[in-house]
Amino acid sequence: MPMTAPASASQLDVAADLLALLRDSTTEPRPDSQLEALTLAVAADLPVLLWGEPGIGKTATLTQLAAALDLPLTTVIASVHEPSDFSGLPVVGDDPATQGVPMAPPDWAVRLVRAGRGLLFLDELSTAPPAVQAALLRLVLERRIGALRLPPGVRIVAAANPRSSAADGWELSPPLANRFVHLQWTHDHETVVRGLGGTWPRATLPRLDPRKLREAVDFARRAVCGLLAARPTLVHRLPTNETGRGGPWPSPRSWDMTLSLIAFATAAGSARDVLSSLVRGTVGDGPGLELLASLDRLDLPDPEDVLADPAGAVLPERGDLRQAVLDGVVAAVRARPDRARWDSAWAVLVRALETGAPDLVVVPATTLASLRQQDWDVPAAIDRLAGTVALSRRADRAAVASKARR
């Protein structure tokens, strides 16, 4: 009889060995723009909300992020808690009339405050009842749980299932939605297959460059203020239609968050894709895309620089951007016409013709030619633009032919 006990224990040992083998996996470095966006938002101390179908590894990502940032992870499933867990449990003392009723915080909050730093992960946010969401509002914005205040070293990330998959979920109220950076979380097929095969990606986290900080803040301020000065209606726009509810929307608060995110992404040297998902997740698709479009224009070379040095100017490869630069150059000449600038603009056009598609040059060349004044000689370079005239004529003939064939 005593023989059976070690036999079953050894069975468990074997099972433990098998489990250890199954968990034995390696990692490989792989760029991951989702994780980069998440890291930047967490670094910027903004609350992040991950939207994703259940079971695609949001929790695993958070574990990885906490390890990478060296922060202890505290997970709280919002939907199984009561509002008092976030607003504090009222405890009646001896003499409530004189001492008041203190709001006692739950144990995880106490531990978090004692540690002074950590990553607080609020899971299942969208399935929490409205009263719980209302209590979370204070936690997310004011960082208060009952009588406790979360120290600055604590970062907050939440996760929610999209409306379509949360069969019995509640939607996020607009005030709560406005406090988060919304990131869409999707799984990458290849990553999952390689991961199940034993190799998970190890994202290289963005590093902030200490020398770029001031420049990054300047850039971010210029980008946001430039856009909002020109488009005042973008400052505040509460979602009015059903589709926009529960998602990001522009308000002075979320623009302020956007400003921080641009500064962080710039200081980290992040790709535009990363910034795009951050900005669109903060102020919404429309205003976010307008901001990105104005950033693209900030990136284009200054027409005055191009005019000053036509030979050394670097024109963008992409046709639509290249045309924007050429139009800008011609507009600059039109604004302040003189002989030298006019000649220099022709040199820019010749260069554009030699390095890219000829049809882009036609409109700027026609406009530039119309700016000629009586005493200006036609520059020698113009001969090389003769091809564009032929091209333009050919397009005109095509237009006539199209009309005729209708």
Partner 1 sequence: MSTKTPGEGGHLDRDKLFAARLHAARARPYLATALFALHTVESKQVPTMAVDRHWRCYVSPAFVDRMPVEELAGVWVHEVSHLLRDHHGRGDRVARERGLTGVGDRLRMNIAADCEINDDVYGDGLVAPKGAVRPWRLRLPEGQLMEEYLSGISFGPLTLDLAWLDCGSGADGLEREWDLGPDGADSLSEQERDAVRFRVAQGIKAHPGDTPQGWRRWAEEAFHPPQPWRDLLGAALRSAVSGSGAGDDYSYGRPSRRSAGVPGAVLPSLRRRPPRVCVIIDTSGSVSDGELGSALLEVAAISHAVGGRRDLVNVLSCDAAAGVVRPLCRAEGIPLVGGGGTDLRTGFEKALRSRPRPDVVVALTDGQTPWPSARPSCRTVIGLFPRPGRSRARRENNPEYVPDSPPAWARVVEIGSANGAR
Per-residue tokens: 294: 């104005």
Kindly identify the residues of this chain, within the stretch 272-301, that bind partner 1 according to CB under 8 A: 272-273, 275-276, 285-286, 289-290, 292-293, 296
Q: Which residue has the tokens 């020109």?
A: 230
Kindly identify the residues of this chain, within the stretch 113-142, that bind partner 1 according to CB under 8 A: 129-131
Site for partner 1 contains 193 (CB under 8 A): no
Q: ∠ at Cα 166 (160, 172), nearest 5°?
A: 50
What letter does residue 386 receive in the DSSP assignment? Answer: H
CA separation for the pair 194, 202 (Å, rounded): 12
Judged by CB under 8 A, the residue of 56, 69, 89, 141 near partner 1 is 89
Kindly identify the residues of this chain, within the stretch 233-252, that bind partner 1 according to CB under 8 A: 242-246
Cβ closest to partner 1, residue 292 vs residue 371: 292
Judged by CB under 8 A, the residue of 56, 69, 77, 104 near partner 1 is 104
Site for partner 1 contains 228 (CB under 8 A): no
By the 8 A CB rule, do 26 and 198 touch?
yes
CA separation for the pair 64, 109 (Å, rounded): 22
Site for partner 1 contains 100 (CB under 8 A): no
At 211, the amino acid letter reads: R
Cβ closest to partner 1, residue 16 vs residue 399: 399
**Ramachandran category for residue 52: left, alpha or beta (phi over 0 → left; psi -120 to 50 → alpha):** beta
In angstroms, the Cα distances linking 246 to 53, 56, 126, 129, 243 are: 16, 21, 9, 14, 8
By the 8 A CB rule, do 306 and 330 touch?
no
Cβ closest to partner 1, residue 191 vs residue 392: 392
Taking the complex as a whole, the smallest distance from the CB of residue 95 to partner 1 amounts, in Å, to: 13
Which part of the chain contacts partner 1 (CB under 8 A), choosing from 81-89, 298-306, 364-372, 377-385? Answer: 81-89
Per-residue tokens: 118: 């950590």
Kindly identify the residues of this chain, within the stretch 356-385, that bind partner 1 according to CB under 8 A: 357-360, 362
Site for partner 1 contains 395 (CB under 8 A): yes
Judged by CB under 8 A, the residue of 322, 329, 350, 352 near partner 1 is 322
Site for partner 1 contains 167 (CB under 8 A): yes
Cβ closest to partner 1, residue 224 vs residue 361: 361
Dihedral over Cα of 73, 78, 80, 86: its sign: positive
Q: Which residue has the tokens 């199984």?
A: 80
Q: ∠ at Cα 131 (61, 117), nearest 5°?
A: 40
Start-to-end Cα distance in the chain: 98
Taking the complex as a whole, the smallest distance from the CB of residue 173 to partner 1 amounts, in Å, to: 8
What letter does residue 188 receive in the DSSP assignment? Answer: -
Q: Which residues bind partner 1 (CB under 8 A)?
A: 82-84, 89-93, 104, 129-131, 163-164, 167-171, 242-246, 271-273, 275-276, 285-286, 289-290, 292-293, 296, 317-320, 322-323, 357-360, 362, 387, 390-392, 394-399, 401-403, 405-406
